[in-house]
Amino acid sequence: MKNFCKKFCVLYFLGLVLLLAGCGDDPDKEFILYPDSGLAFGLFPNDYARNDSSSANLAHGITLTVHPNATYKLSFDVDPNFEAPKLQLFRIYLSKDGEELRAQEVRTLDPVVKNGRYTYSFICEERESALWATTLIQNDTYYQGKVSNIRFTGEGAYSDHFSINLILVGDIEDELEDFTVKELASNLLAEYRKLYTSVTIDTLYINRASEHPTLGKKYPANEPWIAGRSSDDIMVSELGGWPGIENTLDITLVHFIDQEGILGYSNLFSANLGKGLGSTVVLGTHIKTPTGEEALDMQGIIETALHETGHFFGLRHTTATRADIETIFEDYDFGDYSNLEDGLEDTPSCNTLLAASLAKVQRTDFRVNRLMPRIRVFANTTFKVENCPDAGNYMFPLTVENKTLKFSDQQLDIIRQNLMIFPH
- E-strand ranges in 71-222 read 71-77, 86-94, 101-109, 112-114, 117-123, 130-138, 141-142, 151-155, 161-168, 200-208
Other CB atoms within a 10 A radius of the CB of residue 262 amount to 25
Task: State the Cα–Cα distance between residues 131 and 8, nearest whole angstrom.
Answer: 10
User: Residue 391: which of 293, 284, 317 has the closest Cα?
Assistant: 317
Res 381: pLDDT: 54
Res 360: pLDDT: 46
User: Residue 320: which of 390, 405, 263, 408 has the closest Cα?
Assistant: 390
b/e map 46-73, b = 16+ CB within 10 Å: bbbbbbbbbbbbbbbbbbbbbbbebebb
Residue pair 171/212 in contact (Cβ under 8 Å)? The answer is: no
Task: State the Cα–Cα distance between residues 179 and 175, nearest whole angstrom.
Answer: 10
Res 261: pLDDT: 85
Residue pair 142/408 in contact (Cβ under 8 Å)? The answer is: no
pTM of the predicted model as reported, rounded to 2 decimal places: 0.89
Q: pLDDT tens digits for the chain (424 residues)?
A: 333 343 344 334 434 445 544 344 445 567 899 999 888 899 999 999 999 999 999 999 999 999 999 999 999 999 999 999 999 999 998 877 777 778 899 999 999 999 999 999 999 988 888 899 999 999 999 999 999 999 999 999 899 999 999 999 999 988 888 899 999 999 999 999 999 999 999 999 999 999 999 999 999 999 999 999 999 999 999 999 999 999 999 999 999 999 988 889 998 898 899 988 889 999 999 999 888 999 999 999 999 999 999 999 999 999 888 778 777 666 677 778 888 889 999 999 988 776 665 444 433 322 333 455 555 544 445 667 888 899 999 999 888 877 889 999 999 999 999 999 999 9
Res 376: pLDDT: 56
Residue pair 46/154 in contact (Cβ under 8 Å)? The answer is: yes
Task: State the Cα–Cα distance between residues 171 and 209, nearest whole angstrom.
Answer: 10
Res 373: pLDDT: 58
Residue pair 347/310 in contact (Cβ under 8 Å)? The answer is: no
3-state secondary structure (DSSP) of residue 55: helix
In whole angstroms, how large is the CA radius of gyration of the chain? 22
Res 59: pLDDT: 98
Phi and psi torsions of 200, nearest 5°: -120, 125
Q: Which domains does the chain have, with CATH numbers?
A: 2-155 (2.60.120), 161-421 (3.40.390.10)
The type of residue at 96 is K
Res 343: pLDDT: 95
User: Residue 255: which of 287, 278, 279 has the closest Cα?
Assistant: 287
SS (H, E, C) 288-311: EECCEEEECCHHHHHHHHHHHHHH
Res 382: pLDDT: 61
Task: State the Cα–Cα distance between residues 253 and 25, nearest whole angstrom.
Answer: 55
Strand order in the sheet with 200-208: 200-208, 161-168, 249-254, 280-284, 262-267, 371-375
